[in-house]
Structure 1
Amino acid sequence: MPQRQHSPYSKSVYKEPAPVHDPENPFESMMERFNLAAELLNLDEGIYNFLKMPAKQVIVSIPIQMDSGEIKVFEGYRVIHDDTLGPSKGGVRYAPDVTLDEVKALAAWMTWKCSILGLPFGGAKGAVKCDPSKLTPTELEKITRRYTASLISIFGPERDIPAPDMNTNEQIMAWIMDTYSMHVEHTETAVVTGKPVILGGSLGRIEATGRGVMISALSAMKKMNISPESAKVVVQGFGNVGSVSAKLLAEQGCKIVGISDISGGYYNPNGIDLEKVREHLKVHHVLSGFPEADSVTNAELLELPCDVLVPAAKEDQITAKNADKLNCKLIVEGANGPTTADADPILNERCIMVVPDILANAGGVTVSYFEWVQDRQGYFWPLDRVNMRLERFMRNAFDTVYETASRYNQPLRIGAYIQAIDKVARTVRLRGIYA
């Protein structure tokens, strides 16, 4: 597929574009891609202004009594970017350094993910500014329940549906579901996804994002004539997404030569035995000291020679400072926003194909949609049906984005934005603007 460098944002045809000052700010980075896609679509200025900003931004104070008896107040966010296609959908993350701009970017990415995959959802994201590693289970539960209660008029199976994200899990989703159910006075399983299976969660949900990364990688490798059996893969981040992606790619015949976590990177050009990695993690909980790979820094890991690089850690890992040092043919973004806008032209010029986050890691929201459907039906699917349907959704989305990118002579990322924005814009025109 042809690769082409982006036109600079300063050439935007819109009278009042959202300013882009810091290409490593997640929201501004998202907006730079949005602006280019909007220009290529010749998007009407009114629709552009409608879609560029979140529909709703809520900031709440979360006072709780700590186990020590001290009262502390945490700050929580919920951003609904768009609900044109249906109720908004998006995770809730707990992190001490989370910002409103980050949540706004993540909410917008959810809008585009749902549009690309053909899901009847808009995009949202939530967060609480806290460090879960320094909180007891009781304190975490109090924060979660108070956050949910503060957003009781926002959440709802037909309004806004939370899910797990960074530092949140199925237990926290269970607390959200229970709190919401207590307020509405009936058990409402469809208000949240990523729940324990016993509470109406879907089989395959935990592995869904990593499985979607694997499907996207194989789809791109096929276009590039890269055989999985000959492919060397580096995975940055060994949490849920990274570890599942690595495992499933290895099962397809790929050789995993690099992995990393918070303790650093680990490299073995002859391949890393993931079963031994899992045994090491059971004992040590981090990769530090893993004996069958050479230690490298997380920065060095991104520059290792490989066919496929899967950044599955966090935002802003591939920037203009290191994009010219990467030694891969294909990047499949497992994390949200791992590549900054100023890195895109460098990667395009080097003909490194990038399967963007809004496509590659959309397996999670797709199976969340399956979970929501199953909850509403009261009928649950076996694992093989979940995985079969996920593969169909992901492959169809990849093929559609690839075709759109080729038609506009753009990289996959801009093709994905064009595809997503065009669908939402056409829906807005058909619905009209209520006044």
Structure 2
Amino acid sequence: MARLHAACIRPGHQPAGGILQANLLDNCFYKNYNGVSMTQQSNSYIPSYLNAEDPGPWGIFLQQVDRVEPYLGELGKWVGTLKHPEKILVVDVPVRLDDGSIAHFEGYRVQHSLNCGPGKGGIRYHQDVTLSEVMALSAWMSIKTAVVGLPYGGAKGGIRFNPRDYSKSEVERITRRYINEISDFIGVEKDIPGPDVNTNAQTMAWMMDTYSMNAGKDCPGIVTGKPIAIGGSLGRVEATGRGVFIVGAAAAQDAGLDLCGARICIQGFGNVGSTAARLFTEAGARVIAVQDHTGSVYNPDGLQIDALIEHVAAHGGVAGKPNVQNISNDEFWEVQSDILIPAALEGQIHQGNAGRIRTRIIVEGANGPTTPEADDILANSGIIIVPDVLANAGGVTVSYFEWVQNSANFYWSEEEINQRLETIMDNAYKTLSATASEHRVTLRTAAFITACTRILQVRELRGLYP
């Protein structure tokens, strides 16, 4: 049973998308709300505090689980475990702003599954963060860690605000207050946050310091993605993008695609997209189109990636880059390529644009970038999709390395990190490829078959208490 531990929703403040139904809102102001009932909708369980008509990203995850249930055999009796997050925390984050006023922000932390180990998952800062989104992201983390065989469960967090609208000192105060509010919920052996959208190494440093001050001792393992100086791991900054490259190269080899001269399109040019772009370019591929929140740029002969990275650092986005062709965001999806890498936010490839995509392989650098409807359209078009739960698992894999190094107080070289990462990612891809061939399913379905089987096997072995 999911528990909404603290719904600190301010009177008159409705979370985006109607996350909490009116009857719950009427009863949970500034109270702990336990024992939330679950309702069954179309064979999928929708928590009563979500809009059952529009469960958002959580609904997408439920559809993905429904699709693999026929492959789970006797373990199917435990499938409800996957459809019910173990714990949900919603907190109010009151902060004094630079002008002296008091602002309130809505924060979340969801632990989807702790069957296989402590929760693991990032914390994102975004004005459109919703509970449905965080629930889905925590569930995808459960799948992701199981796919690559890490001893973790799935968790995720977020604060509903746009950090670009606030000063650095305000963001720091928001960060510290949020961690203070969730400090009893997380722990080095219970739930380990990390960076996500609009959070970085500095954010993790503030989080680690706040938690450590409350604990009265240094706790470097409470978060991953920290600066190297305070226990971060070498190779972590590039890990997600490097993982995208590793499995993208493996998928290309399986498809008989030579990376030398291959055309790459990338949506999202932050840490993940830019790292993948550089590594594919070093392998001889041409990155011909890039899109981010500022616009889309195109060069059929290949973009100069180092120059584009410098331009983004100086101007905040790809728009305005000289000596390239500017195209519309809609045109970006129609650029003919060999590999397309969505590395931005979820839901970017949907029923409305999937039919226009012309590529051979999609490698999902972002979490949940493709809707189930789009999945079907792309599969019918013969496009191979390397799913997010494998493709972007490089980040959580090296986060695991960081956590292990913090626990042992013994640190590895970057070469060791990259070698270990390549071994884990390559083995995971081979497992999914073999499962896909065995069951004649897509790589995404193979990933869910593999992960759900592993999670539910552990659930069955552990049994229920009491």
Alpha-carbon separation, structure 2, partners of 1:406 and 1:115: 20
Alpha-carbon separation, structure 1, partners of 2:102 and 2:304: 47
Moved more, 285-294 or 110-119: 285-294
Indicate whether 1:296 and 2:327 are aligned. yes
Within 5 A, what are the aligned runs for 1:138-153? Answer: 138-153=169-184
Alignment length (residue pairs)? 422
Match of 1:84 in 2: 115
Q: Is the 8 A contact 1:81 1:124 kept in 2?
A: yes
Match of 1:52 in 2: 83
Alpha-carbon separation, structure 1, partners of 2:313 and 2:130: 33
3-state DSSP of counterpart to 1:334: coil
Indicate whether 1:198 and 2:225 are aligned. no
Residues 137, 347 of structure 1: CA spacing in aligned structure 2 closer, same or farther, 3 A cutoff? Answer: same
Match of 1:340 in 2: 371
Identity of aligned residues (%): 44
Residues 43, 244 of structure 1: CA spacing in aligned structure 2 closer, same or farther, 3 A cutoff? Answer: farther
Residues 22, 402 of structure 1: CA spacing in aligned structure 2 closer, same or farther, 3 A cutoff? Answer: farther
How far the C-alpha of 1:21 sits from its partner, in A, is 7.3
3-state DSSP of counterpart to 1:211: helix
3-state DSSP of counterpart to 1:295: strand
Alpha-carbon separation, structure 2, partners of 1:38 and 1:16: 11
CA offsets per residue over residues 305-351 of structure 1, 9 Å max, x none?
Answer: 00000011111111111111111000000011110011111111111
Letter in 2 for 1:330: I
Alpha-carbon separation, structure 2, partners of 1:110 and 1:315: 14
Match of 1:18 in 2: 45
3-state DSSP of counterpart to 1:207: helix
Alpha-carbon separation, structure 1, partners of 2:74 and 2:210: 42
Match of 2:355 in 1: 324
Letter in 2 for 1:180: Y
Moved more, 115-124 or 146-155: 146-155
Residues 282, 58 of structure 1: CA spacing in aligned structure 2 closer, same or farther, 3 A cutoff? Answer: closer
Out of 67, 77, 92, the residue aligned to residue 36 of structure 1 is: 67
Residues 346, 258 of structure 1: CA spacing in aligned structure 2 closer, same or farther, 3 A cutoff? Answer: same
Within 5 A, what are the aligned runs for 1:184-195? Answer: 184-195=215-226
Indicate whether 1:273 and 2:316 are aligned. no
Out of 403, 408, 412, the residue aligned to residue 372 of structure 1 is: 403
Indicate whether 1:409 and 2:440 are aligned. yes
CA offsets per residue over residues 222-262 of structure 1, 9 Å max, x none?
Answer: 10000010311001111111111101111111111111221
Alpha-carbon separation, structure 2, partners of 1:129 and 1:280: 29
Taking only aligned residues, the RMSD between alpha carbons, in angstroms, comes to 1.6
Out of 119, 141, 144, the residue aligned to residue 113 of structure 1 is: 144
Alpha-carbon separation, structure 1, partners of 2:134 and 2:385: 23
Within 5 A, what are the aligned runs for 1:244-259? Answer: 244-259=275-290
How far the C-alpha of 1:186 sits from its partner, in A, is 0.6
How far the C-alpha of 1:195 sits from its partner, in A, is 0.3
Match of 2:341 in 1: 310
Alpha-carbon separation, structure 1, partners of 2:158 and 2:151: 23
Alpha-carbon separation, structure 2, partners of 1:74 and 1:278: 32
Alpha-carbon separation, structure 2, partners of 1:278 and 1:140: 25
Indicate whether 1:174 and 2:179 are aligned. no
Residues 22, 348 of structure 1: CA spacing in aligned structure 2 closer, same or farther, 3 A cutoff? Answer: farther
Moved more, 14-23 or 416-425: 14-23
Residues 21, 36 of structure 1: CA spacing in aligned structure 2 closer, same or farther, 3 A cutoff? Answer: farther
Match of 1:10 in 2: none
- Gapped regions of structure 2 (runs ≥ 5): 1-40
Alpha-carbon separation, structure 2, partners of 1:195 and 1:282: 21
Match of 2:14 in 1: none
Indicate whether 1:424 and 2:455 are aligned. yes
How far the C-alpha of 1:275 sits from its partner, in A, is 2.1
Letter in 1 for 2:452: I
How far the C-alpha of 1:423 sits from its partner, in A, is 0.2
How far the C-alpha of 1:16 sits from its partner, in A, is 4.2
Letter in 1 for 2:86: A
Q: Is the 8 A contact 1:24 1:316 kept in 2?
A: no
3-state DSSP of counterpart to 1:229: coil
Alpha-carbon separation, structure 2, partners of 1:260 and 1:91: 24
Residues 167, 15 of structure 1: CA spacing in aligned structure 2 closer, same or farther, 3 A cutoff? Answer: closer
Out of 167, 172, 195, the residue aligned to residue 136 of structure 1 is: 167
Indicate whether 1:214 and 2:245 are aligned. yes
Q: Is the 8 A contact 1:30 1:341 kept in 2?
A: no
3-state DSSP of counterpart to 2:194: strand
Alpha-carbon separation, structure 1, partners of 2:344 and 2:86: 28
3-state DSSP of counterpart to 1:59: strand
Alpha-carbon separation, structure 2, partners of 1:202 and 1:96: 29
Moved more, 197-206 or 28-37: 28-37
- Gapped regions of structure 1 (runs ≥ 5): 1-13
3-state DSSP of counterpart to 2:350: coil
3-state DSSP of counterpart to 2:451: helix
User: Could you tell me the TM-score, scaled by structure 2's length?
Assistant: 0.88
Letter in 2 for 1:75: E
Letter in 1 for 2:379: N
Moved more, 285-294 or 15-24: 15-24
How far the C-alpha of 1:181 sits from its partner, in A, is 0.7
How far the C-alpha of 1:15 sits from its partner, in A, is 8.6
Alpha-carbon separation, structure 2, partners of 1:359 and 1:274: 25
Match of 1:68 in 2: 99
Residues 153, 110 of structure 1: CA spacing in aligned structure 2 closer, same or farther, 3 A cutoff? Answer: same
